[in-house]
Amino acid sequence: MADFKVTVDSETLTIDGLTFAPAEADNLKAAVSFAGSMRDALAFPPQIDYKQFVVQFFEDGRLIVKRAEGQAAGEIKFSFDTVDRLVVTITSTLEISVDRKRLSPSPRSVGDPGFHDQGDIIEG
């Protein structure tokens, strides 16, 4: 349960079975962190709802984060011992996605034939 399978592109991120947009990464990270902060609680609720994500608690110490009901399927299984690792994985995955988006060539970076060097539009 310690290693998370990650798939990244510039538009979507997937950790284990949960796919999310880069814009949702902070909410996912906050949901996982909040659940992790409950480690020393005397009793756990069955689940906590955190914006578009839900974290479920199980008696054996497992936790599952997934989308709220009515949204796409997928989940990440983790434990209190792997909360920090999951938060780092979410952060790193987002950084990779941002880098891919930033480093991917745009039409202007490879010479858009619709523009002169001075930025004038060429009439076709």
**Digit-coded pLDDT (tens) for 17-75:** 999 999 999 999 999 999 999 999 888 999 999 889 999 999 888 999 999 887 778 99
Q: What is the pLDDT of residue 1?
A: 42
Q: What is the CATH number of the domain that holds 72?
A: 2.30.31
User: Which residue would you say has higher pLDDT here, 61 or 104?
Assistant: 61
In the predicted structure, residue 80 carries a pLDDT above the cut 70 = yes
Which one of 10-14, 41-45, 78-82 scores highest in mean pLDDT?
Answer: 78-82
- Total domain count, the chain: 1
Does 67 fall in a domain?
yes
Residue 59: inside a domain, yes or no?
Answer: yes
- pLDDT at position 106 is 58
- pLDDT at residue 115 tops 60: no
Task: Kindly write down the DSSP assignment for every residue of 6-43, as one continuous string.
Answer: EEE-SS-EEETTEEE-GGGHHHHHHHHHHHHTTTT-SS
Q: Give the three-class secondary structure for 109.
A: helix
Residue 106 lies in a domain: no
In a domain, 73, yes or no: yes
- The verdict on residue 38 lying in a domain is yes
Which range marks the domain in which residue 81 is found?
A: 6-100
Question: Beta strand 62-67 with 53-57: parallel, antiparallel or unpaired?
Answer: antiparallel
In a domain, 22, yes or no: yes
- Quick check: is 70 in a domain? yes
Classify residue 118: in a domain, yes or no. no
pLDDT at 120: 47
